[in-house]
């Protein structure tokens, strides 16, 4: 295998993703590579994406191995770079020139054809000055010239023994011009251009919505050169440069802090509302803000290599990842093309009228509305989700999200927040709970650690005021030591107690009781004597109950918790949420095995997780949803849907949007197919002229686009009151 041509980018049991450079921006190469795996035994599915130069394969490892798959790909592409596709397939630059129409070019083409159509209509209908429509008339020559690209595509497909929409459209236009119906040919071109423009517009809206979430908008930043801060454009920053960031500035690189500390607003990637303190050796990401402080960051990833840029690229590429319902639309369109020829010939045989047959052909010549039925609806839905800070990596996952009958949840960071709260208090040595909280609060008052924040929250609830400390020493990872009114106060872990010779032996039985509930233990000592312990656990998300209830009402057969947490903690939360099955104390690879077992009996499994330990399970599930896109890059890579904001209610939105999208697609199918059938009948009966046949397309294409566009503004439905009440119980 030539690493310059083929690379393994991601691999887990029974799933592999390859980077294959020869197919980059080459739809033809991508199509042929996909076809290569269609009939290979053991391959469940293979999806090639020319935009990201990737090939993703799901396979049965009992039947076929990764080595076998790599051999197939290697055989398909010779190491010399000569492939079964055209010689220029390895050249991204040349492929870029052959890329499909952009929104701008689609718009110019449509405007040009619209102006020409208006001129023809004005002259022919309003001014009653008939136009010559034969092949060698001005209109015939213009129409022929405008159809060259379409006809060329049709001829190329025909040579490959693929009879496609382009073939049928090209043939229809040529037939119309030769038959002296250049106006009808112009009509076909205009409708095709309009459909292409509308589809491109919706796709671009999706990409724009995603860019609005992930964009890094700073144009300039400061780097350190010979000890001096120099302002340069962001695109000129290179890995290894030291970027200097001040209060109020947006971070434009991924890197490590080598000096300084600052409060960083990471809400753009984690959804967290509170700024996070980042110090030396801490990592920062492009797209986040410095709220307070100055940091010197060694750039590791810049430009399109940054975390957010890679996420954007993945999601943008995913617009090509077709849903099964989109494939059905393509197949239906192909069948309509074949049926078009059959119906046209039969019409001529039975009516002996070339004009009726020609009108029928024009009705059947534009199945573009059928193709747009699914693709426009799904593109609009992905765009709507992006506005809600939900990234869906393709139509296939959007479609399957509503079909999942088993939903699995990780616990920590998913069903619970990453913010702990006090669940247990025990005071010793004649110290009361209020005094214990006051001592801990006073010691931790300037600390931004999650445990410190939990202690502060509890103090505020109880109306406890802090005592000003005289000396304070923060020891990362173990706790804090301070002096209050001459007393030495220690708040932290067992290691801190041992460091200062505080022996918590006498409370071991009490500690064992706390451990059963999986609580994080914080020790509090005063003048070398243990005065109390605090047990903390992550706070259950308040909306979790509503989500679980919604899923059960939405047809999910089973809700499952899969967590690495201890038995008592996991079972306690599962009982509260009425979750029927709970797997606890499991390792990451065991999570994936559990998902695999649940998928037996043709179950569709949706997995929701947030961290590195969930990555294998997310990849193994039919649909993987990652909570908080900044939580783990590996989890995001493995997941199919990412909730950028750390809000579990996004699952409700995704399920509801999936239902709505499938409903709209089916409506579109009826609009497209129904109007085609009616049009064919009317044309065969001689009740539709060639011009009126074209109007049939205009009507149903616009209807489909308008119907799909409703999804651009889709909002999350209100939860029924019985669900809300149940979640509050």
Higher-pLDDT residue of 407, 163: 407
Is residue 407 predicted with pLDDT exceeding 90? yes
Does residue 477 sit in the same domain as residue 610?
Answer: no
Q: What is the mean pLDDT of residues 639-647?
A: 80
Q: What is the mean pLDDT of residues 464-486?
A: 84
Max avg pLDDT among 123-132, 322-331, 474-483: 474-483
Least confident of 182-196, 538-552, 578-592, 712-726: 712-726
Q: Is residue 310 part of a domain?
A: no
Is residue 137 predicted with pLDDT exceeding 60? yes
Q: Is residue 298 very low, low, confident or very high in pLDDT (cuts 50, 70, 90)?
A: very high
Of the candidates 95, 241, 254, 410, the residue annotated as catalytic is 410
CATH code of the domain containing 511: 3.40.1110.10
Assess whether 254 carries a catalytic annotation. no
Least confident of 129-138, 424-433, 690-699: 690-699
DSSP state for residue 41 in the 8-state scheme: T
Is residue 249 predicted with pLDDT exceeding 80? yes
Count of structural domains, the chain: 5
CATH code of the domain containing 33: 3.30.70.100
Q: What is the mean pLDDT of the chain?
A: 77
Q: Is residue 122 very low, low, confident or very high in pLDDT (cuts 50, 70, 90)?
A: confident
Does residue 520 sit in the same domain as residue 602?
Answer: no
Q: What pLDDT is attached to residue 54? A: 79
Query: Which residue, of 272, 305, 338, is where some domain finishes?
Result: 305
Q: What pLDDT is attached to residue 86? A: 38
Is residue 332 predicted with pLDDT exceeding 80? no
584-618 confidence digits (pLDDT tens):
888 777 888 899 899 887 889 999 987 656 777 88
How far is 88 from 101, CA to CA, in rounded Å?
20
Q: Is residue 185 part of a domain?
A: yes
Q: Is residue 722 part of a domain?
A: no
Q: What is the mean pLDDT of residues 269-292?
A: 75
Q: Is residue 725 part of a domain?
A: no
Q: How would you class 243 by CB atoms within 10 Å of its CB: exposed for 0-12, middle for 13-18, buried for 19 or more? A: buried
Does residue 422 sit in the same domain as residue 535?
Answer: yes
DSSP state for residue 624 in the 8-state scheme: E
Q: How far is CA 315 from the centre of its chain?
A: 5
Q: What is the mean pLDDT of residues 418-440?
A: 85
Q: Is residue 125 part of a domain?
A: yes
Q: What is the mean pLDDT of residues 57-85?
A: 70
Is residue 423 predicted with pLDDT exceeding 60? yes
Is residue 619 predicted with pLDDT exceeding 90? no
How far is 85 from 22, CA to CA, in rounded Å?
9
Q: What is the mean pLDDT of residues 53-67?
A: 83
Does residue 545 sit in the same domain as residue 638?
Answer: yes
Query: Which residue, of 625, 640, 658, is where some domain finishes?
Result: 658
Tokens of 172: 């229809």
Is residue 226 predicted with pLDDT exceeding 90? no
How far is 47 from 15, CA to CA, in rounded Å?
12
Does residue 503 sit in the same domain as residue 479?
Answer: yes
Q: What pLDDT is attached to residue 536? A: 85
Q: What pLDDT is attached to residue 92? A: 36
Contact 333, 371 (CB under 8 A): yes
In 3D space, the residue among 654, 677, 674 whose CA is nearest the CA of residue 666 turns out to be 674
Q: What pLDDT is attached to residue 380? A: 84
Rounded to two decimals, the pTM is 0.61
How far is 446 from 466, CA to CA, in rounded Å?
11
Residue located via tokens 């959007």:
398
Q: Is residue 140 part of a domain?
A: yes
CATH code of the domain containing 288: 2.70.150.10
Residue 687 CB contacts under 8 Å (≥ 6 apart), including other chains: none
Is residue 219 predicted with pLDDT exceeding 50? yes
How far is 693 from 673, CA to CA, in rounded Å?
14
Q: What pLDDT is attached to residue 98? A: 38
Q: How would you class 509 by CB atoms within 10 Å of its CB: exposed for 0-12, middle for 13-18, buried for 19 or more? A: exposed
In DSSP terms, 256 is beta-bridged to 283, 298
Max avg pLDDT among 177-181, 472-476, 496-500: 496-500
Q: What pLDDT is attached to residue 164? A: 58
Q: Is residue 605 part of a domain?
A: yes
CATH code of the domain containing 576: 3.40.50.1000
Does residue 552 sit in the same domain as residue 647?
Answer: yes
Is residue 416 predicted with pLDDT exceeding 80? yes
Q: What is the mean pLDDT of residues 542-547?
A: 88
Does residue 138 sit in the same domain as residue 240?
Answer: no
Does residue 271 sit in the same domain as residue 392?
Answer: no
Share of the chain above pLDDT 90, in %: 12
Does residue 557 sit in the same domain as residue 585?
Answer: yes
DSSP state for residue 648 in the 8-state scheme: T
Does residue 14 sit in the same domain as residue 84?
Answer: yes
Q: What pLDDT is attached to residue 198? A: 65
Least confident of 49-53, 160-164, 515-519: 160-164
Q: Is residue 314 very low, low, confident or very high in pLDDT (cuts 50, 70, 90)?
A: low
Give a three-class secondary structure readout of 255-275.
EEEEEEEEEEECHHHHCCCCC
Question: In the chain, count of helices (H) and strands (E)?
Answer: 26, 24
Q: Is residue 450 very low, low, confident or very high in pLDDT (cuts 50, 70, 90)?
A: confident
Higher-pLDDT residue of 537, 94: 537
Q: What pLDDT is attached to residue 87? A: 37
Share of the chain above pLDDT 70, in %: 75
Q: What pLDDT is attached to residue 598? A: 92
Q: Is residue 719 part of a domain?
A: no
Query: Which residue, of 643, 658, 673, is where some domain finishes?
Result: 658
Q: What pLDDT is attached to residue 242? A: 92
Tokens of 578: 């009425």
Does residue 200 sit in the same domain as residue 322?
Answer: yes
- How many CB atoms are closer than 10 A to CB 462? 12
Residue located via tokens 């149903």:
700
Q: What is the mean pLDDT of residues 638-666?
A: 87
Does residue 149 sit in the same domain as residue 11?
Answer: no
Is residue 339 predicted with pLDDT exceeding 80? no
Least confident of 323-327, 472-476, 689-693: 323-327
Range of the domain at 193: 103-206+317-380+662-713
In DSSP terms, 582 is beta-bridged to 561
Alpha-helical regions (H) of 122-251: 138-146, 148-159, 165-178, 182-214
Residue 97 CB contacts under 8 Å (≥ 6 apart), including other chains: none
Helix (H, G, I), strand (E, B) or coil at 281: coil
């Amino acid at each position: 295998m030539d690493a310059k041509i083929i690379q393994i980018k991601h691999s887990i049991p029974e799933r592999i993703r390859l980077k294959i450079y020869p197919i980059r921006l080459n739809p033809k190469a991508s199509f042929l590579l996909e076809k290569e795996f269609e009939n290979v035994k053991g391959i469940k599915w293979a999806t090639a994406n020319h935009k990201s130069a990737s090939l993703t394969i799901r396979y049965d490892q009992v039947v076929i191995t990764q080595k076998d798959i790599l051999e197939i790909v290697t055989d398909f592409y010779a190491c010399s770079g000569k492939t079964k596709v055209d010689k220029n397939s390895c050249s991204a630059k040349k492929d870029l020139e052959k890329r499909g129409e952009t929104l701008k070019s689609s718009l110019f083409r449509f405007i040009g054809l619209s102006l020409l159509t208006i001129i023809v209509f004005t002259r022919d209908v309003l001014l009653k000055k008939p136009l010559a429509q034969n092949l060698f008339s001005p209109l015939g020559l213009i129409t022929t010239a405008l159809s060259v690209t379409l006809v060329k595509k049709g001829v190329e497909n025909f040579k490959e023994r693929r009879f496609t929409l382009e073939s049928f459209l090209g043939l229809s236009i040529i037939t119309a011009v030769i038959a002296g119906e250049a106006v009808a040919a112009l009509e076909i071109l205009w409708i095709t251009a309009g459909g292409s423009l509308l589809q491109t517009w919706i796709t671009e809206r999706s990409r724009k919505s995603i860019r609005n979430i992930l964009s890094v908008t700073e144009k300039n930043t400061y780097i350190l050169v010979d000890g001096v801060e120099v302002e340069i454009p962001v695109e000129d920053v290179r890995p290894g440069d030291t970027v200097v960031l001040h209060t109020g500035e947006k971070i434009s690189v991924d890197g490590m802090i080598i000096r300084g500390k600052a409060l960083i607003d990471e809400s753009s990637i984690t959804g967290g509302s509170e700024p996070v303190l980042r110090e030396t050796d801490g990592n920062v990401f492009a797209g986040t803000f410095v709220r307070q402080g100055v940091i010197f960051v060694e750039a590791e990833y810049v430009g399109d290599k940054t975390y957010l840029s890679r996420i954007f690229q993945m999601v943008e590429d995913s617009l090509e990842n077709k849903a099964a319902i989109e494939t059905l639309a393509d197949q239906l369109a192909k069948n309509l093309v074949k049926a078009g020829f059959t119906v046209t010939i039969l019409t001529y045989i039975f009516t002996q009228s070339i004009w009726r047959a020609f009108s029928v052909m024009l009705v059947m010549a534009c199945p573009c509305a059928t193709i747009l039925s699914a693709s426009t609806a799904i593109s609009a839905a992905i765009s709507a989700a992006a506005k809600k800070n939900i990234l869906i990596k393709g139509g296939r996952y959007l479609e399957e999200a509503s079909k999942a009958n088993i939903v699995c949840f990780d616990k920590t960071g998913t069903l619970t927040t990453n913010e702990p709260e006090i669940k247990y208090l025990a005071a010793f040595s004649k110290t009361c709970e209020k005094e214990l909280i006051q001592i801990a609060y006073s010691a931790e008052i300037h600390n931004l650690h999650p445990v410190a924040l939990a202690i502060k929250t509890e103090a505020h609830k109880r109306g406890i005021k802090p005592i000003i400390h005289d000396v304070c020493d923060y020891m990362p990872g173990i706790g804090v030591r301070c002096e209050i009114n001459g007393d030495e106060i220690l708040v932290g872990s067992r290691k801190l107690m041992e460091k200062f010779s505080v022996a918590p032996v006498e409370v071991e039985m009490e500690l064992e009781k706390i451990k059963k509930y999986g609580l994080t233990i914080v020790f509090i000592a005063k003048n070398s004597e243990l005065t109390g312990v605090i047990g903390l656990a992550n706070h259950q998300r308040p909306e979790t109950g509503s989500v679980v209830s919604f899923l059960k009402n939405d047809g999910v057969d089973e809700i499952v918790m899969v967590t690495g947490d201890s038995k008592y903690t996991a079972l306690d939360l599962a009982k509260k949420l009425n979750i029927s099955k709970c797997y606890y104390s499991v390792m990451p690879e065991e999570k994936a095995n559990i998902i695999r077992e649940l998928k037996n009996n043709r179950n569709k499994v949706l997995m929701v997780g947030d961290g590195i330990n969930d990555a294998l399970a997310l990849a193994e599930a039919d649909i993987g949803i990652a909570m908080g896109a900044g939580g783990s890059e590996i989890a995001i890579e493995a997941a199919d849907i990412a909730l950028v904001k750390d809000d579990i209610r996004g699952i409700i939105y995704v399920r509801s949007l999936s239902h709505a999208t499938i409903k709209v697609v089916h409506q579109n199918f009826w609009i497209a197919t129904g109007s085609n059938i009616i049009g064919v009948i009317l044309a065969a009966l001689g009740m539709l002229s060639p011009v009126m046949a074209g109007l049939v397309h205009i009507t149903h294409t616009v209807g489909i686009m308008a119907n799909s566009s409703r999804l651009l503004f889709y909002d999350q439905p209100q939860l029924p009151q019985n669900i809300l009440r149940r979640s509050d119980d």
